[in-house]
Amino acid sequence: MTSSAKSKYKVLLVAYKDIDQKTKNIITKYSVCNIKNKDVFLGQTNYQGSGRNFNLNDRVSIYIGWFKDQIIEKLDQGYTLDIVEIHKSYGNTREELLKVLDIEYGDNILVLDIQEI
């Protein structure tokens, strides 16, 4: 993890269940990976790197590696998960909004982890 001044993205792991479509749209606006099914998730964790052209697929593969245990645990509890990537140019507004939703919705929306890269 790098210092905030040097980071390019914030990556959040968000779990949710039993929410309305409007709230889901807020959570998933900057989602780079949606995870609903444990079997499908486990089958999709073997991403191939693309060598020198480091792109979104490569980043998603890294994010999944960071969050894999938490993802499996929450899938077993009936949650859908999204990995949300926020570019630093957006500031903290999106992150703060997700944190507020976590507080307001209790166990129905959980911000499980935040990483900076």
Domain boundaries, the chain: 9-116
pLDDT band at 2 (very low <50, low <70, confident <90, very high): very low
Query: The sheet that has 31-35: what strands, in order across it?
Result: 31-35, 80-87, 9-16, 109-116
Asked if residue 116 lies in contact with residue 42, where contact means CB atoms within 8 angstroms, the answer is: no
**Which tens digit of pLDDT belongs to each residue from 11-33?**
999 999 999 999 999 999 999 99
- What is the rounded average pLDDT of the residues 72-98? 91
* Rounded distance between C-alpha atoms, residue 34 and residue 56, angstroms: 14
pLDDT of residue 40: 79
pLDDT band at 1 (very low <50, low <70, confident <90, very high): very low
Contacts of 13 (CB under 8 A, 6+ apart): 63, 67, 70, 71, 81, 82, 83, 84, 111, 112, 113, 114
Higher pLDDT among residues 108 and 93, named by residue: 108
Highest-pLDDT range among 4-8, 52-56, 93-97: 93-97
pLDDT of residue 42: 79
User: What is this structure's pTM?
Assistant: 0.85
Nearest to 75 by CA among 37, 44, 117: 37
